[in-house]
Amino acid sequence: MSLAARVRAQAKINLILRVLAREESGFHSIETVFLRLDLSDDIVVRIVSGRSLDCSGPALPSGGLGPVESNLAYRAADEYARATGWPVGFAIEIEKHIPIGGGLGGGSADAGAVLRALDALSPNPLGPRLVELAAGLGADVPFMSIDRPMSLGWGRGERLYPLRPLDPRPILLAVPDFAIATGDAYAWLAASRGQYAPVGAVLAADALATWEEVAREATNDFEAVVARRHPVVAELTDRFRSMDALVALLSGSGSTVFGVFDQNPDDSEMMRKVAGVRTIVSQTSDRVTRVERVE
């Protein structure tokens, strides 16, 4: 009988996303507030003799996810094995529900879930050191590897300060039929700024304790440059605000736009105004789903 674990890989939004100066390494520092959603991929990790990755689900593109070795979840398992010497083999099963390339952190969520699953199964778990391993995989992966639903993030996302989660609220996700490559979004932002390098602001945890306080601070530096090239982004944020959204922003580097509401929104009303945009109704989360051992 092989060791195995199941976990939900929860999507995320950024309630605040500020992009700061570019470092000598070529990476940009960020200041952000991460928040998990109920929307999630389903992950099963098995300890076996070989190595494999199987993907299915309604959010899987018709062309698949590309080479297995390039998949972030597979790379996470490989990095865990390199760093700890365990396991020799693994089989990862992913059922995709988070849209691909929409700024909801689906690939990072999968990677973080795989790291959490492996650490739960490991004879010598890394515990808090898991964040250090996650940092080499991408800016969202460290947050996705911890058991906290909301956090401040700095640097390349590896410096995290967990926050008391906000009360769950309904969220409407509008998913255009195009993806935004993160590298393109950074290039557009850099071109719009020229030599200007913004200075970081100190995000105070006690100023982010309620949705009303978050709404006053909510911003995304990518939104304007993405909307300039894809006007539907501005149409969607304007529409959500007209529906009295508490917060309406581009998610990550796009292309998904989200609206957080006090009550369940009428997504059919929004669709009448912005035709052809798929919507997903979910909820912000105040908890992280646990890793469960399975047969």
Q: What is the pLDDT of residue 101?
A: 85
The one catalytic residue in 12, 96, 110, 119 is 12
Distance of CA 186 to the CA centre of its chain: 17
Q: What is the pLDDT of residue 204?
A: 73
The one catalytic residue in 110, 140, 221, 267 is 140
Residue 266 annotated among the catalytic residues of the structure = no
Q: What is the pLDDT of residue 267?
A: 72
Q: What is the pLDDT of residue 23?
A: 61
Q: What is the pLDDT of residue 195?
A: 65
Mean pLDDT per block of 10 residues along the chain (295 residues) reads 91 94 65 96 97 95 84 97 97 96 94 98 95 92 96 83 95 92 90 71 77 94 96 94 94 94 81 79 96 91
Q: What is the pLDDT of residue 67?
A: 87
C-alpha span between 273 and 16 (Å, rounded): 26
Residue 273 annotated among the catalytic residues of the structure = no
Q: What is the pLDDT of residue 255?
A: 93
User: What's the whole-model pTM score?
Assistant: 0.93
Q: What is the pLDDT of residue 53?
A: 97
pLDDT in tens, 91-124: 999 999 999 888 999 999 999 999 999 999 999 9
**Phi and psi of 11, rounded to 5°?**
-65, 170
Instruction: Give all domains of the chain, ordered by start, each with its CATH number.
Output: 4-162 (3.30.230.10), 170-283 (3.30.70.890)
5-37 burial string, b = 16+ CB within 10 Å, else e? Answer: bbbbbbbbbbbbbbbbeeeeeeebbbbbbbbbb
Cβ–Cβ contacts within 10 Å for residue 234, how many?
Answer: 16
Q: What is the pLDDT of residue 51?
A: 97
Dig out the tokens for 43 from the structure: 């992950």
